Structure formats: C-alpha cells, structure tokens
Amino acid sequence: MTSTLDINGKAVTVKAAPETPLLWVLRDELGLTGTKFGCGMAQCGACTVHVNGDPVRSCVTPIAALSGAKIATIESLGGEHPLQQAWVRHDVPQCGYCQSGQIMSAAALLAQTKAPSDEDIDNAMSGNICRCGTYQRIRAAIKDASGLAAAPVVAAPPAQGSDKPVASNDVDDEIAAASGSTSRGVGQ
Ligand code: FES
Ligand code: FES
C-alpha cells in the first residue's frame, strides 16, 4: 500500500503498511538516518521528530496517523539552526547518539517558548535520555540559543610550534552524524 506523507516540506510517497512506524519509513525507505532508533517503545526520545510542530516519538507513530500532517526531521534544521550552533559552542555531544532527538525536542520548545525557564526546559526535555549524561551542557546550549545565557568562552588555539597536543574537534562531525549528513556512518 502507498501513503503520501509531508516530510520536511515535500510530499513523499512511500510503499509501506499503514501500521508501519514512521521511524522505519524515515530510515529504511527514505534514508533519513539522522533520526535514531533507541528503545522502540517511546522511552528514550532518540527517535523524536516534529509532527505539526510538536515533538513526537516516531518509533511508535504509525504512518496511518499522519495523513495531512507536517512532519519535520533533524535534517530540516539544515545544520545552521541556532540550536545546532549552540550545541557546537557548548561541545554538547559525547557519543552523539541521542543528540538529534535532544535537538528536536529543544527546537519544539523554543518554537513555542522563546525564553524557557529551567522548569520549562526540564519539562520539555524529560523524555529524552542521554546515556552519556550531557544534560548540563544541553541545558546551557538551550539557554544560549534562546539568548538567556552567554556563549562559553572558547580557549585560544595553541601557538604554532607549541609542543602541546592539539585537541581533536569531532563535535562538528558528531552534529553532522546526528543529522545523518556524514560519510562516516557514525550511529547509523
Ligand atoms: S526509539 Fe523511540 S523513544 Fe526510544
Ligand atoms: S551523547 Fe551519548 S547518549 Fe547522549
């Protein structure tokens, strides 16, 4: 059976049974691998996407429930969204696996609440689990993106010829991995 879905502003026709979870269609049919599979039962938030602007767990949302809905995935943020920039400034990701879901929940929060309180952030983010414990950096990045807190001070790079090792900076790669746009295949 075919269904037509509105994903990231495009009408997409997919061949899948109506009860198929959206996450399966995104990843396996459409190659939108920025959205991750974690628990498969609405417990971790790794699979979070937006449906009509609200954060939704795509692992338990059948495509039959999405007729006429506007679906947005991490790929729709484009890599330069203020939250993605704040994520980089605060070095939020560790393994990176949960981060696309975290960013999508945060994006839904900021779209509705421009200046969220700590309580707003806790309420919005409580369903997104991070096994690496990046919660403090996530909160700081959300506040930075919303203009409630200053960006962190970034240390100057070592002078040329210094014998100090140059720290590898994989954060951009991790964000790219979370948005499914890397060739390294991290977390896919
Ligand atoms: S994979 Fe959907 S909430 Fe965990
Ligand atoms: S950064 Fe590793 S699970 Fe969140």
Q: In order of start, what are the domains of the chain with their CATH numbers?
A: 2-77 (3.10.20.30), 82-146 (1.10.150.120), 157-188 (no CATH)
Ligand nearest to the backbone CA of 98: 2
Distance CA 135, CA 160 (A): 35
pLDDT tens track, the chain, 188 positions: 899 999 999 999 999 999 999 999 999 999 999 999 999 999 999 999 999 999 999 999 999 999 999 999 999 999 999 999 999 999 999 999 999 999 999 999 999 999 999 999 999 999 999 999 999 999 999 999 999 766 676 655 555 544 433 333 343 444 444 444 433 333 34
- In this prediction, residue 148 carries a pLDDT of 77
Ligand 2 site: residues with CB under 6 angstroms? 93-99, 130-132, 134
Q: Is 91 exposed, middle or buried (0-12, 13-18, 19+ CB in 10 A)?
A: middle
Distance 109 CA to ligand 1 centre (A): 19
Amino acid, single-letter form, for residue 169: N
Distance 49 CA to ligand 1 centre (A): 11
Distance CA 16, CA 14 (A): 6
What contacts 44, CB < 8 A, 6 or more positions away? 38, 98, 101, 128, 129
- Tell me the best of 57, 100, 104, 129 to mutate to test the pocket of ligand 1, counting ligand atoms within 8 Å of each CB and taking the most: 57
Ligand nearest to the backbone CA of 105: 1
Distance CA 47, CA 64 (A): 18
Distance 46 CA to ligand 2 centre (A): 9
Q: 6 pairs with which residues across the strands?
A: 11, 70
Structure token digits, residue 148: 């409630």
Residue 90 CA neighbour count, 13 Å, CB half: 24
Distance 130 CA to ligand 2 centre (A): 5
Distance 76 CA to ligand 1 centre (A): 19
What contacts 173, CB < 8 A, 6 or more positions away? 182, 184, 186
Task: Tell me, using a 6 A CB cutoff, whether residue 131 lines ligand 1.
Answer: no
DSSP reduced 3-state for 60: helix
186 DSSP 8-state letter: T
- The atom of ligand 1 lying closest to the CA of 37 is 1
Distance 16 CA to ligand 2 centre (A): 31
